[in-house]
């Protein structure tokens, strides 16, 4: 019996080594890994540059308190703000901390400018923002909140893609609208560009902040952020998963306007932004910012799309829809997603489920076309077996 608290329904498989797109199980079996720690190892397993960085940094300095200036943190923040909408970054260790920081920053802003009554956040059904108490009740998924009451107040929720309900739910207390640019756990549901633009306009009209949760989709679509192709700027963006390439790292990016409330002492984290994590975050950017890297993610996304669409056309009773952009993909299945995932595992490929009977595919961004072909081949095999 395991001494680990039983909060996961784990598969009875473990791994000893990872290299790029592959994982090696304890029994020696080699798996094509399209889970990648749930969209986390953006550069695959044990990327050379990350391994070298962590080795070198581990011999210099691991951790110092945020009571001191941390040059690696200054550098990562500068690179993140130079290349995005943001003017400031605050570092965390996880996605849920990044979304919680977003909520705090939104509320503090209105408090600071003398509108403390604006303190409620609007969210959408099917959202996922993390497992700490506020993030849990922000997303308000009954599967996750049951038994964890009393409810954390300050959130109002509307159905996804229901403009009328959204407009109706806004009132004088609304501080922010928080939405995932691509709903991850909810089933890789892409919020279309015109909706992102519409949300921005609505927020501007009603003096509301726009928080785009990019914890799962950042770096993956072929743009740095998924919202970028809509051409708008949000106010606050929490990120995590991919930005540490597998090392625990979260961040909350904000514009100058909303930063005014966050003065010394208003927020903090013991570990957030320590030299070791910052070295890795910087190393991930070294690769992502290489000329043509993100363009290549777009190309590979298209290539993957073509292959997946071919299988969908061939097996229209098995695959209902291909969702996602770039290298964040979802297959909405017409057969049981869990059974399909199990059969893919028999063919030595790892994937992960999401809501709406979806199978999520997270190839590492360094994936090559041969590996994408291998994935397509395996998915096709299972389609054949299940038809």
| 357 counts as binding ligand PLP under rule CB under 6 A | no
Least distance from C-beta 278 to ligand PLP, angstroms?
17
Q: Which stretch binds ligand PLP (CB under 6 A): 19-27, 193-201, 208-216, 308-316?
A: 208-216
| 157 counts as binding ligand PLP under rule CB under 6 A | no
| 100 counts as binding ligand PLP under rule CB under 6 A | no
Quick note: the x/- pattern for ligand PLP over 42-81, rule CB under 6 A, is ----------------------------------------
| 33 counts as binding ligand PLP under rule CB under 6 A | no
Q: Which stretch binds ligand PLP (CB under 6 A): 76-84, 122-130, 166-174, 316-324?
A: 122-130
| 329 counts as binding ligand PLP under rule CB under 6 A | no
Least distance from C-beta 254 to ligand PLP, angstroms?
17
Site for ligand PLP in 165-194 (CB under 6 A): 180, 184-185
Which of residues 18, 20, 44, 95 is near ligand PLP by CB under 6 A? Answer: 95
Q: Give the nearest residue (CB) to ligand PLP.
A: 95
Least distance from C-beta 1 to ligand PLP, angstroms?
26
| 36 counts as binding ligand PLP under rule CB under 6 A | no
Cβ neighbours of residue 251 closer than 8 Å, sequence gap 6 or more: 80, 89, 90, 91, 92, 98, 238, 239, 240, 243, 281
Say if CB 82 and CB 248 are below 8 A apart.
no
Which of residues 240, 283, 318, 344 is near ligand PLP by CB under 6 A? Answer: 240
Task: Give me the residues that bind ligand PLP (CB under 6 A), please.
Answer: 94-96, 99, 128-130, 180, 184-185, 213, 215-216, 240-241
């Amino acid at each position: 019996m395991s001494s680990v608290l039983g909060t996961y329904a784990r598969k009875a498989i473990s791994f000893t080594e990872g290299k790029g797109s592959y994982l090696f199980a304890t029994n020696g079996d080699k798996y094509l890994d399209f889970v990648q720690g749930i969209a986390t190892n953006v550069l695959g397993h044990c990327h050379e540059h990350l391994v070298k960085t962590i080795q070198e940094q581990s011999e210099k300095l691991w951790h110092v308190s945020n009571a001191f200036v941390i040059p690696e943190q200054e550098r990562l923040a500068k690179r993140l703000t130079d290349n995005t909408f943001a003017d400031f970054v605050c570092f965390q260790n996880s996605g849920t901390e990044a979304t919680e920081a977003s909520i705090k920053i939104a509320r503090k802003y209105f408090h600071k400018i003398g509108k403390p009554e604006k303190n409620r956040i609007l969210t959408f059904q099917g959202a996922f923002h993390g497992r700490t108490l506020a993030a849990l009740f922000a997303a308000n998924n009954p599967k996750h909140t049951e038994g964890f009451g009393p409810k954390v107040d300050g959130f109002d929720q509307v159905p996804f893609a229901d403009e009328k309900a959204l407009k109706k739910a806004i009132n004088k207390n609304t501080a922010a609208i928080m939405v995932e640019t691509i709903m991850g756990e909810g089933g890789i549901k892409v919020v279309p560009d015109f909706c992102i633009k519409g949300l921005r306009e609505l927020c501007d009209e009603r003096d509301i902040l726009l928080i785009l949760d990019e914890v799962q989709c950042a770096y993956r679509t072929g743009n740095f952020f998924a919202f970028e192709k809509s051409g708008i700027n949000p106010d606050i963006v929490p990120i995590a998963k991919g930005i540490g390439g597998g090392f625990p790292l979260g961040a909350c990016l904000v514009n100058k306007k909303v930063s005014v409330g966050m003065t010394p002492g208003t927020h903090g984290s013991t570990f957030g932004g320590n030299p070791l994590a910052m070295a890795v975050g910087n190393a991930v950017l070294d690769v992502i910012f290489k000329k043509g890297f993100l363009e290549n993610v777009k190309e590979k996304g298209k290539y993957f799309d073509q292959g997946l669409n071919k299988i969908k056309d061939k097996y229209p009773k098995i695959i209902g829809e291909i969702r996602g952009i770039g290298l964040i993909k979802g297959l909405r299945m017409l057969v049981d997603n869990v059974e399909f995932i199990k059969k893919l595992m028999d063919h030595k490929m790892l994937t992960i489920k999401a809501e709406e009977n979806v199978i999520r595919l997270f190839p590492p961004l360094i994936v090559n076309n041969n590996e994408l072909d291998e994935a397509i081949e395996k998915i096709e095999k299972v389609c054949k077996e299940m038809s």
